[in-house]
Chains A and B, each alone.
Chain A
């Protein structure tokens, strides 16, 4: 069922430097990513789980070359993204999209929904105005919005609807890989279920591969095929989701899984 990897990261290292000491004259650096290697199979979902400070969001940004790496390489369909020219990288970005956590902060409040979703098509010079409009409309309908919504502004929508807009914006370009950074953690549980099911359906229809960043182990269990567990910038464990949840090997993973609320009661 699993095919060859579509996205591979090898030995990623990313260091942040912080000022410290009196008047910030000193500095110390810490490794947000410490030799991180992952591999995403085409058409599957790879979840990256960890607590705050584990480096999972840094990994998301480094995978898409939104943050420069210190060392290591990211291969998309065999091409090393770091060595591409900026023009070539922009071309590839069509295939590599991102859905953000906070649907309130990630949509430009001054743009209409139609413009927000169409912007990527415009940047990549895809189609003429009529074709773009048609694609935006189809995409919005697919995520559960209506034609009239194209003329509205982000503040006119609820959190769940905004996340649908964020998904439409990412998917209208028909990317191959979508990095979702905590896409449902700001949402109520009933809305969260809708968005998770929408993401799953779209994955099937559009043959998408997801990197799914999350701190919520219950959500990950539902959406992921494979899991990478991160702790303090390092990958401590990775493998198939069933295997890791059934028999975690690393002590940190065990602690994480034992901390899922509701487990104690279920076991009792």
Chain B
């Protein structure tokens, strides 16, 4: 099976300081209908990796190496126009802040309809019907289509973002910390919704998070990043239950567990520096077999 997404040797540097790698030689794959989580602390390069895949790196940054193949097609050689046609059509995106990602002066119905008219050319009644259907799918009453973003709660706004991102039934969804700003009960609802949509639409999901609890809930495969590099890559069971790399072990040890049984161990970075580089960066990947 050709993977939905294959990232190979991705390297991102600031244009002003090309010797400083922000993302260094990152490789992983994503299969249709599966979720790959990229997990790490702030500054680990996890969000930059997602932005690079979408071709949305800021002008100050540059991808110097690596290939990004989506459905067999190399994305890095596409021009801006071709990339724009893929984004929103075949690759959906959701971000952390549902308020700043929505336009406050347009109704949510209008905003959900936008990708449908831009990419699929839908108009009038057909468009309205699709918008209503999408709202229903994400659990918002369709009559709310005429509401403005400020009339919705944070969780509802994130549902609107999800409706927008799946409007064109993309093959892949990239979600960058989509539940970080939400309350825990709302987070649980949104994670369930995403998981459900992923299965129903056989969508591949690239999910960026810092929260190992979220990883445990939704991931099939996990990529652990530290200072721009992939330090560990494997199935969720392998990474969470049998971590190989000292950083993964250390990071897991400072996550408080819900039962309070595990002592907290902060990361000793000085100790970590002295650890021999392990082989974990070369993905010894136990493929999650298609069910």
Contact = CB atoms under 8 A, between A and B. Distances in A.
Interface string A181-224: 00000001111111011000000000000000001111101100
B214 A262 contact: yes
Contact of A260 (B154, B183, B184, B264): B184
A108 interface: no
Given A221-B260, A259-B188, A260-B258, A52 B213 contact: no
**Contact-residue size bin, chain B (C-beta under 8 Å from the other chain):** 20 to 34
Given A190-B254, A190-B267, A197-B266, A261 B260 contact: no
B196 interface: no
B265 interface: yes
B73 interface: no
B185 A255 contact: yes
Contact of A261 (B183, B213, B251): B213
Contacts of A192: 254
A193 B265 contact: yes
A93 B49 CA distance: 48
Residue of B210, B236, B251, B266 with highest tally of chain A CB at under 10 A: B266
A215 B260 CA distance: 16
B184 A217 contact: yes
B265 A222 contact: no
A266 interface: yes
A245 interface: yes
Interface string B205-219: 000001111111100
A263 B186 CA distance: 15
Contacts of A265: 216-217, 236, 240
Contact of B259 (A188, A194, A215, A221): A221
A110 interface: no
A229 interface: no
B260 A190 contact: no
Interface string A236-268: 000001100100000000011111111111100
A188 B256 contact: no
A261 B264 contact: no
A191 B266 CA distance: 7
A222 B216 contact: no
Given A215-B184, A261-B213, A266-B216, A222 B256 contact: yes
Contacts of A216: 184, 256
B267 A261 contact: no
Contact of B264 (A193, A257, A258, A259): A193
B102 interface: no
Nearest to B215: A262
A260 to B, nearest CB: 5
Nearest to A259: B188
Nearest to A268: B216
A134 interface: no
A189 B213 contact: no
Interface of B: 41-42, 154, 183-188, 191, 210-217, 236, 240, 250-251, 254-260, 264-267
Interface of A: 51-52, 188-194, 196-197, 215-219, 221-222, 241-242, 245, 255-266
13 contacts: A189-B210, A189-B251, A189-B255, A255-B185, A259-B188, A261-B188, A261-B191, A261-B211, A262-B214, A263-B258, A265-B216, A265-B240, A266-B257
